[in-house]
Amino acid sequence: MKRFNDSKIMLLLVALVVALMLTAGSAKADFTFGTPTNLGPVVNSSAADQTLNISADGLSLYFSSDRPGGYGSLDLYVATRESTDDDWGPVVNLGPTVNTPSLEGHGCISADGLTLYFCSNRPGGFGSYDLWVTTRATKADKWGTPVNLGPNVNSSTYAMESSISPDGLTLWFESGRPGGLGGGDVWMTTRPTISDPWGPPVNLGPPVNSAFDDGDPSISDDGRILFFTSGRPGGYGNYDLWVSKRKTTDDQWGTTVNLGRSVNQTSNDLGANISADGRTLYFNSNRPGGYGSYDIWQAPIIPVVDFNGDEKVDLKDFSKLAQYWGQNESSVDIAPPIGDGTVDFQDLAVFAEYWLKELGQAWGPTPADGATNQPKSMLSWLAGETAVAHDVYFGTDQTAVTDATWESDEYIDQVAEVVETPVDIRPYTIKALTLQQPATAYYWRIDELEDGTTIKGDVWRFTTAPLKAHSPNPANGEILVDPNTLLNWGAGFNAKTTGGHRVFFGTDYNVVLNATTSTIEYKGTQNGTTYDPSPGGTLALNTMYYWRIDEVNKDNTVTKGDVWMFKTIFNITITNPNLIGWWKLDEGQGTMR
């Protein structure tokens, strides 16, 4: 048996670069996103965990949360890890120097990790929410006393959600100050050196800003790609993630593009943040499958290397890359996935990685790599182009699966290649179904077999769901819930796909706890994981509601669920004729109540 020799192929590609400096039409390179995965219960909680920012080295994650144990209504926290391959460690509150009895959120860490920008409504500001900054001498030191960014940046309205350039000389942020186009706009301020004060902010203008709420800016390290949140039409939910690009930092921002259904859903998806290597998009969402009202999610950024759009990655695509070698050509600038302004060996390495996968390595796993709370799942994947069979390795030990051979216990199946039909069929194995248990982390690997060749696959990971229904939305204990809310939850590990969820709902905890299918609290059986508790109407205001989901399993046993609770928003009587409404901070966007 033999493997592809990646280094030899790279040498071949380098030689082809020299040989293929030929004329070719230009196509627009782009990137897409893999399946978003939840960061899990170490980072996320039953509260709202949101407004995140990842450090330049990828080892510290700053975010805000209203979880118990803080100093105010919303505090800043940090989670760390030893390497980018490790899981996140326990979450730590930044302490009383940074956090106060007021609200602190939207942390943004500098490239050197020594300066942290954030917003707060603490006393001493200029508006309802101001931008503040705290510094430290080294990463081992504690954060110093925060300082307000002053009246150039802050105004009588609000300023929040900042993104700082790597050199510390440009700050993007959201503000509702006069001179904008909508309820909230993205603004930019600069300074000559880090010792100088910030200059007057400049509105980014259209197409980034619109007549709707636009904010949560996150700038790429080279300043050419801007991710942001918007409530403009054309999205999938109330707030979606969008992106705008420019060829150089001297150019105007280009047309805004929605990140698409792979990231945005009918939920609120906001607060995008890009890892420094450009390979991962972090964001906040209240989609089903989380642990609280808002969770932190991540999605891999995947470059589109099919430059000519013929649904193949081959020499035709490579010739386009070679044509623009050493130039600033966005159509083939794919390294990191969002591009760096120059077509060079980094782009060649990325192209080779994806070309090799198309040639031979298994890819596109389902469940997605890193997926959490998965029901009992059949494993499937996208086959390498020349594979004739697939060896399947599966187990609970990552090292054992990585090192396994066909003589190991982790070897569970060999799948013959599916004969091509007018519709592609993914190879799959059902043998892993019998081995899966609830609330367990599993690792699996697919080796592709050709004539005399084995192409070893990557090791993928997913975690199974508990037997009980989980991840309620509204979150357990949430208050100020919209009376028009829908109930969402994550399906139990072995729940039926048809008629698998029994819904119980009422206003008395003990009654809902002890309810049966014969009591009035039983609201029927659902096929999906969504239930409307007030069809054709709304829930009562200022009322505590209790609900429970019992899972009907595939063997017809029933797993009784926990009782969750939430309280609807109270009725607000407006007696001042000049008061038109109440402003509720809603993950940086705001909702009129």
Residues in the chain, pLDDT under 50: 1-29, 419-424, 582-593
As a three-state string, the secondary structure of 542-591 is: CCEEEEEEEEEECCCCEECCCEEEEEECCCCCCCCCCCCCCEECCCCCCE
Nearest CA to 1 among 382, 394, 389, 459? 389
Burial 176-195 (b: 16+ CB within 10 A, else e): bbeebbbbbbbbbbeeeeee
| Residue 492 per-residue DSSP state | P
Q: Assign 434 to helix, strand or coil.
A: helix
- pLDDT of res. 485: 92
Cα 147 to Cα 54, 132, 133, 199, 248, distances in angstroms? 22, 5, 5, 16, 33
Q: Assign 322 to helix, strand or coil.
A: helix
The domains of the chain are located at: 6-29+307-359, 31-304, 363-464, 471-568
Question: Which residue has tokens 């186009």?
Answer: 181
- CA 416, 418, 424 angle in degrees (round to 5)? 155
Instruction: Decide the pairing of beta strands 30-33 and 37-38.
Output: unpaired
As a three-state string, the secondary structure of 124-187 is: CCCCCEEEEEEECCCCCCCCCCCEECCCCCCCCCEEEEEEECCCCCEEEEEECCCCCCCCCEEE
Taking a C-beta distance cutoff of 8 angstroms, is the pair 3, 455 a contact? yes
- CA 32, 38, 39 angle in degrees (round to 5)? 110
Burial 218-229 (b: 16+ CB within 10 A, else e): bbbbbbbbbbbb
d(CA 84, CA 73): 31
| Residue 431 per-residue DSSP state | G
d(CA 279, CA 35): 13
What are the start-end ranges of the H helices in 390-543?
Answer: 398-403, 509-514
User: Would you say domain 471-568 falls under CATH 2.60.40.10?
Assistant: yes
Q: Which pTM was predicted?
A: 0.64
Nearest CA to 174 among 193, 155, 146? 155
Per CATH, the number for 31-304 is 2.120.10.30
- CA 470, 476, 477 angle in degrees (round to 5)? 170
Q: How many CB atoms lie within 10 A of CB 368?
A: 18
d(CA 26, CA 219): 26
- pLDDT of res. 29: 42
- pLDDT of res. 8: 40
- CATH T-level assignment (fold) for domain 363-464: Immunoglobulin-like (2.60.40)
Rg (CA), the chain: 26
Q: Do domains 31-304 and 363-464 have the same CATH topology?
A: no
